[in-house]
């Protein structure tokens, strides 16, 4: 019985005891993804704690993206074990960005490093690349800014997932969550959305082509330049010649530590930031995907 071990946890607050019990159930395999926690009253009695402590523990787990609490009866009732780490990490990062402890420029640099690594490791036969191609086709038909950006988010996450590293995919999703407000504000002030969208479509196609060709080095160079974006007017981007997209083979000299977010009306490029998107867009794929 769990109660036999209560003395070991006397120094814990009671909701922490509940969290510890749930963690052990998960690590021992007694609780699995899609499984349900015991009912609130039953769990409180089993652990000899108050129902208030159980509710507090459940709220913490919800914020961490580990459970979803349902009410009423039926298939959605009860507390279900899920896995949405990107949402939880993104929320935490966003708060730390708000305190200015984590500079936006450092978030951007991290995205450059991770996504460049991901496309350099992506396998040409990864099923996620088929999804990436489908998203680009849909993006070609999309004129509305919000719809385009939602597809853009999904495309970049598909590229990250093609590397087969769930941690990288999760962190990529959380980076986008962390500074989506900055990206939304940037998009609202673009001088020529149609021209920007055309540029992004061309860059996306070039990145995907490099991955499909098995040229990880070129894919990494292109995606880094794509994310670094603009050094002039917001959203206008570098000429395709400088990105090597015109067939010249020229590659830009990349500098991820460059100041990418400037105060006092300075400029940032549209694709410098993990993008804002409607909440309906999945956070990350594989087993960490948000359903619905």
Q: Torsion-angle region of residue 157: left (phi > 0), alpha (psi -120 to 50) or beta? A: alpha
Closest CA to 194 of 235, 147, 242: 235
Q: Report the percent of the chain where pLDDT is more than 90.
A: 41
C-alpha to C-alpha distances, 188 to 71, 139, 175, 193, 275, nearest whole angstrom: 38, 19, 20, 9, 12
pLDDT band at 6 (very low <50, low <70, confident <90, very high): low
Distance (Å, rounded) from C-alpha 225 to C-alpha 27?
41
| Multiple choice CATH, 2-81, 3.30.499.10, 3.30.70.580, 1.10.10.10, 3.20.20.70 | 1.10.10.10
Is the overall model pTM greater than 0.85, yes or no?
A: no
**Domain locations along the chain:** 2-81, 85-288
125, pLDDT greater than 50: yes
Distance (Å, rounded) from C-alpha 15 to C-alpha 20?
9
Residues in the chain: 292
- The mean of the pLDDT values for the chain is 75
Average pLDDT, integer, range 24-28:
92
- Range from 185-199, 201-215, 234-248 carrying the lowest mean pLDDT: 234-248
The answer to whether 267 and 232 have CB atoms below 8 angstroms apart is yes
C-alpha to C-alpha distances, 225 to 140, 254, 258, nearest whole angstrom: 21, 7, 12
Query: Which residues, including other chains, have CB under 8 Å from residue 27's CB and lie 6 or more apart?
Result: none
| Multiple choice CATH, 85-288, 3.30.1280.10, 3.40.50.11540, 1.20.120.530, 3.30.465.10 | 1.20.120.530
């Amino acid at each position: 019985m769990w109660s036999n071990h209560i003395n070991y946890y006397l120094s814990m607050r009671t909701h922490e005891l509940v969290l510890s019990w749930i963690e052990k159930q998960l690590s021992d395999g007694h609780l699995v993804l899609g499984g349900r926690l015991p009912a609130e009253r039953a769990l409180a009695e089993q652990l000899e704690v108050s129902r208030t402590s159980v509710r507090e523990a459940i709220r913490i787990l919800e914020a961490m993206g580990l459970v979803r609490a349902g009410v009423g009866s039926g298939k959605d009732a009860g507390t279900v074990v899920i896995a949405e780490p990107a949402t939880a990490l993104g929320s935490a990062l966003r708060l730390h960005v708000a305190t200015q402890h984590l500079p936006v420029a450092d978030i951007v640099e991290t995205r450059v490093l991770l996504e460049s690594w991901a496309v350099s490791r992506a396998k040409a036969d990864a099923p996620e690349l088929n999804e990436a191609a489908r998203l680009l086709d849909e993006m070609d038909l999309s004129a509305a800014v919000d719809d385009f950006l939602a597809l853009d988010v999904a495309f970049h996450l598909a590229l990250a997932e093609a590397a087969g590293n769930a941690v990288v995919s999760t962190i990529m999703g959380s980076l986008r969550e962390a500074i989506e407000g900055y990206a939304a504000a940037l998009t609202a002030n673009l001088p020529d959305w149609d021209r920007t969208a055309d540029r992004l479509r061309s860059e996306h196609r070039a990145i995907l082509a490099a991955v499909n060709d098995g040229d990880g080095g070129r894919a990494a160079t292109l995606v880094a330049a794509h994310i670094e974006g603009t050094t002039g007017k917001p959203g206008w981007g570098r000429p395709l010649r400088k990105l090597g997209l015109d067939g010249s083979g020229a590659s830009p000299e990349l500098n991820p530590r460059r100041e990418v977010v400037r105060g006092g009306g300075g400029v940032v490029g549209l694709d410098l930031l993990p993008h804002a998107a409607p909440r309906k867009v999945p956070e990350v794929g594989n087993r960490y995907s948000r359903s619905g």
